Amino acid sequence: MGTPDLVRESALGGRLVLWEESARDGAQGKTLMSGDFRVRLARGYGRVFGDDGPRHVVFAAGFPAVCAEEFAATRQVASEAAGSVSPAAVCRATLDDVRQACDAVRDAPNARVMIVVPASDAMADAMVHRPAVDALAEAVTLVGAVRDGDTGVIPDVCFADAPRAGIDVMAGAANALTEAGAGVIVVADTTGDLLTERCAELFQSLLDRVAEDVVLASHLHNDLGLGLANTLAAVRAGVRVVSSSWLGVAERSGMVATEQILFLLAHRATELLGEADLWRTAPDLTRIPAIARAVSAETGLPLTVTTPIVGTGVGTISTGTPFVRPATFQPFDPAVLGIEPTVVLTHLASARVLRAVGERAGLALDRAETAAALAWVKAEAFRRNEAVIPVESLVGFVDAFRATAAVPAP
């Protein structure tokens, strides 16, 4: 019981903790991160918060029971990302699994294990073939075993399928688990079925019933496209530990994307929550795009023009009026993310857009060249059936146009 719990300290002090799931739950989204990449991701994510990475990021490094390689990858994060984040191993609610998870993160600073327990009778019947109340009671014993085992590892408990469980049953279990030494109680919408109003009611009802020292966390999936809205509803209710995943990767349709919830709670926190002081060290948002690109490269998940916050469309301009007055047409200044605005040449281009692209390539276009190039760009985009015309293609057209114009008439 004497192990310092920076996550509990942060949450009970009103600070936000992000529980990162891309390495662990992302595997259920059919992605695989190598041990080396998990270490790089954990370190990079921790650097977003400087020395306070362990206070603001729990990194679910893996599910050691899956196989020897998964155990090794989880162990590697615990060994090599020490001090950057609070590393966690995830396990089923059996004594053997819990001991294995503890072994995977043992001796790492701020190490944690998350024990997944079915909270509803439907999920309990599927997972452990007995009533949920029995599974939750057994979890108290498992938490005690971790605390009494002198591992230095902090046990957390995840309530699987919380929306279909009884509020009073969960509240009573959360109180008992916390008294036994659990650090965080993760409330999971395992099937991603929650509508936002119901989500707010769920967390508010639990917060109204648990003791003041109980720390609740959200774990909300995106099957209905509501992962972000639901997580914000939980935060508004008072939850200060939120699960998320870079690029939203997780089972089925994924879960709330780390880059989205982090950006909104850092850049728009006052509008969302009032004067809440969420950070011991304010996050460096300029690190977000590079992390997202790295996760995309490792997992094969594409960043597209429609990906919020980190997509290829952020900071790009292709039409006339936004080119002249960009601040009027964008929700935030991309410089907040360290992104320089880029003018892109498409069939929607105006003369000013085309000249700006040309100047970037070293072309100074006169009126006739601009008119000819603009007509060519629009026709060429439709000929190719591709909106974006590369700068190199524009240069080629202008060179050919000038060459033709320089040829004397016969």
Using pLDDT thresholds of 50, 70 and 90, give the confidence band for residue 180: very high
- Which amino acid is located at 267 in the chain? H
Using pLDDT thresholds of 50, 70 and 90, give the confidence band for residue 2: low
Beta strands in 52-173 (DSSP E): 57-62, 86-92, 112-118, 154-160
Task: Confirm if 190 and 123 have CB atoms less than 8 A apart.
Answer: yes
The residue among 76 and 121 whose pLDDT is bigger is: 76
Task: Confirm if 157 and 101 have CB atoms less than 8 A apart.
Answer: no
300 contacts: CB under 8 Å, gap ≥ 6: 31
Using pLDDT thresholds of 50, 70 and 90, give the confidence band for residue 405: confident
CA gap 362, 176 in Å, rounded: 69
pLDDT at 212: 95
Task: Confirm if 150 and 99 have CB atoms less than 8 A apart.
Answer: no
Task: Confirm if 19 and 56 have CB atoms less than 8 A apart.
Answer: no
Question: H-type helices in 107-225, by residue range?
Answer: 121-127, 132-148, 167-180, 196-209
pLDDT at 407: 59
CA gap 248, 199 in Å, rounded: 19
pLDDT at 293: 96
- At 49-90, the pLDDT tens digits run 999 999 999 999 999 999 999 999 999 999 999 899 999 999
Task: Confirm if 14 and 194 have CB atoms less than 8 A apart.
Answer: no
Sequence ranges of the domains in the chain: 6-299, 315-410
Q: Please count the other Cβ atoms lying within 10 Å of the Cβ belonging to residue 52.
A: 18
pLDDT at position 1 over 60:
no
pLDDT at 275: 82
Task: Confirm if 357 and 389 have CB atoms less than 8 A apart.
Answer: no
Using pLDDT thresholds of 50, 70 and 90, give the confidence band for residue 290: very high
CA gap 34, 36 in Å, rounded: 5
Q: Helix (H) and strand (E) counts for the chain?
A: 18, 10
Question: Any idea which fold 6-299 has?
Answer: TIM Barrel (3.20.20)
Judged by phi (left if over 0) then psi (alpha if -120 to 50, else beta), residue 289 lies in alpha
pLDDT at position 264 over 60:
yes
Using pLDDT thresholds of 50, 70 and 90, give the confidence band for residue 314: confident
pLDDT at position 249 over 80:
yes
